[in-house]
Structure 1
Amino acid sequence: MTGPGPDLGPELGPDSRPKLRLNRCHYPVTTLGPGVRAGVWVQGCTIACPGCAATDTWSSEPGAEVRVETVLGWLASLDGPVDGVTISGGEPFQQPDAVGELIAGIRAWAGERPVDVLAYSGYTLSRLRARPALSALVDACDAVVTGPYARNRPDGGWLRGSDNQVLTVITPLGRDRYGGDPPDGPRLQMGVEGERVYLIGVPRRDDLDRTAEALRRAGVPIEEASWRT
């Protein structure tokens, strides 16, 4: 089952709780962490790493704001196993209040079940640790991948786009899920939403252009691509 994600239409009415700028949700995700996962991509990133594969997530579109409980409701509606939730973007740590509320809601929804939270950030871990609010958000996760994407660096391996990025485990569940040898399997999967085709995972060098060429040969030309600037 593929969860198309919550409705991103405007949400009216007063609400003092933080809203999440959201790009998309997807289920199942099998390339961004162990097991079968739910994926949440936030909208907005000012880091703007050259060569980023997700430039469509950079702008901070106010129209993409949703209540956190909307995302949690989508998560609770999924008809299938959820071993973990991966939060990427965009830059999750530029929305600490909303992402913190999201993670707290995931913990409440999971209860005693071992559902891990993996978050991506383009900031280094030392920079996140230097700010108490962001350091607390790191500690709310089970594992984090930190550091800017560097397109001139070799492939980073499992979960990392470049080898300067660092995978850090935070909790015992994180050590159990992320502390061993990386699993075998594909690094990319594909999602389709209307006329939009998106790739999920951490591509190796030239993976995106090879995928675009394979789609073209199959009669699916790509007119615009988020990794081409």
Structure 2
Amino acid sequence: MTGPSADEPSASEQTLLLAKAHYPVTTLGPGVRAGIWTQGCTLHCPGCLSRDTWEADPGKAVPVAAVLGWLRSLPRPLDGVTVSGGEPFQQPEALAALLRGIRAWQDGSEHETIPVDILVYSGYVYSRLLRSARTSEILGLCDAVITGPYVDRLNPGGDTPRTALYSGGVVQPAHRPAVPAGARAVRSSGRRLPADRSRGSAPSPGVGGRGAGGKAGVLHRDPAEG
């Protein structure tokens, strides 16, 4: 795993096109998590219900440092961070800066006995992400990735809540990236990784985005959580 190059913007300079961010999220990975949804996707999978995240709107840009500050401000428990979209890998520099910032935060949290894990969803197939040096490096920063386009015909029943049960493993298989020598070991939770409901089925209540009572582009935390 390599660090940023000398001419690559740091987290304090890099910006991320952000659709929404929310805590707590309990459906997109093990435990209690923070969810970050990026803005911008050119894959345009048929049947996707997150068309509001397709446009790469510059007005949704926020500093990566602000997202990291929001994560640090969250109460416990915080078992992991889930990044979805939109398509996170279409912002590789911003995604890399975000994930490096999360790793640095982990490394500086000596009181934490269990590290916060990182799960990223992508509409690209895993083999394509491996072919690029830039995206392959990002995979090395993840504990797990769930990849592949949303396939509407594999979700019989349309946008009913039950369609989410068909997405995991069939539409978007999970991968645990190989970890380079000397890099952080992949944490194996032993628990099944779920499908992102925003990729073709109705969003779960309280996610904090459009259609869930929230505003896009907002770093949101439920008041009841502290």
TM-score, normalising length from structure 2? 0.70
Aligned position for 2:25: 29
Aligned position for 2:97: 101
Q: 2:176 aligns with which of 151, 166, 169?
A: 169
Gaps of 5+ in 1: 1-14, 200-229
- The secondary structure found in structure 1 opposite 2:146 is strand
Cα distance change, pair 23–176 in 1 and its aligned pair in 2 (3 A):
same
Cα distance change, pair 143–159 in 1 and its aligned pair in 2 (3 A):
farther
Instruction: Map Cα deviations across residues 115-169 of structure 1 (whole Å, 9 max, x no partner).
Output: 1000010000011111110111111100000000001015897794571421011
Alpha-carbon shift at residue 197 of structure 1 (Å): 3.5
CA distance in 2, matches of 1:161, 1:99: 23
Q: Which moved more, 1:155-164 or 1:48-57?
A: 155-164
Q: Which moved more, 1:93-102 or 1:76-85?
A: 76-85
CA distance in 2, matches of 1:92, 1:40: 10
Count of aligned pairs: 180
CA distance in 2, matches of 1:159, 1:97: 32
Alpha-carbon shift at residue 55 of structure 1 (Å): 1.1
Alpha-carbon shift at residue 80 of structure 1 (Å): 2.5
Q: 1:62 aligns with which of 58, 63, 76?
A: 58
Cα distance change, pair 180–80 in 1 and its aligned pair in 2 (3 A):
closer
AA aligned opposite 1:189: S
Instruction: Map Cα deviations across residues 180-222 of structure 1 (whole Å, 9 max, x no partner).
Output: 4569xxx96312759x5329xxxxxxxxxxxxxxxxxxxxxxx
Aligned position for 1:212: none
Cα distance change, pair 192–163 in 1 and its aligned pair in 2 (3 A):
closer
CA distance in 2, matches of 1:142, 1:121: 14
What are the residue-to-residue correspondences of 1:83-162 with 2, within 5 Å? 83-111=79-107, 112=110, 113=112, 114-154=115-155, 160=167
Alpha-carbon shift at residue 37 of structure 1 (Å): 0.2
Paired residues of 1:153 and 1:162 also in contact (CA < 8 A): no
CA distance in 1, matches of 2:31, 2:166: 13
Paired residues of 1:158 and 1:182 also in contact (CA < 8 A): no
CA distance in 2, matches of 1:157, 1:192: 15
**Matched-pair identity in %:** 51
- The secondary structure found in structure 2 opposite 1:152 is helix
Q: 1:197 aligns with which of 211, 219, 222?
A: 211
TM-score, normalising length from structure 1? 0.70
CA distance in 2, matches of 1:73, 1:147: 30
Paired residues of 1:150 and 1:162 also in contact (CA < 8 A): no
AA aligned opposite 2:118: V
AA aligned opposite 2:143: D
Gaps of 5+ in 2: 1-10, 157-162, 195-201, 214-226
CA distance in 2, matches of 1:42, 1:142: 19
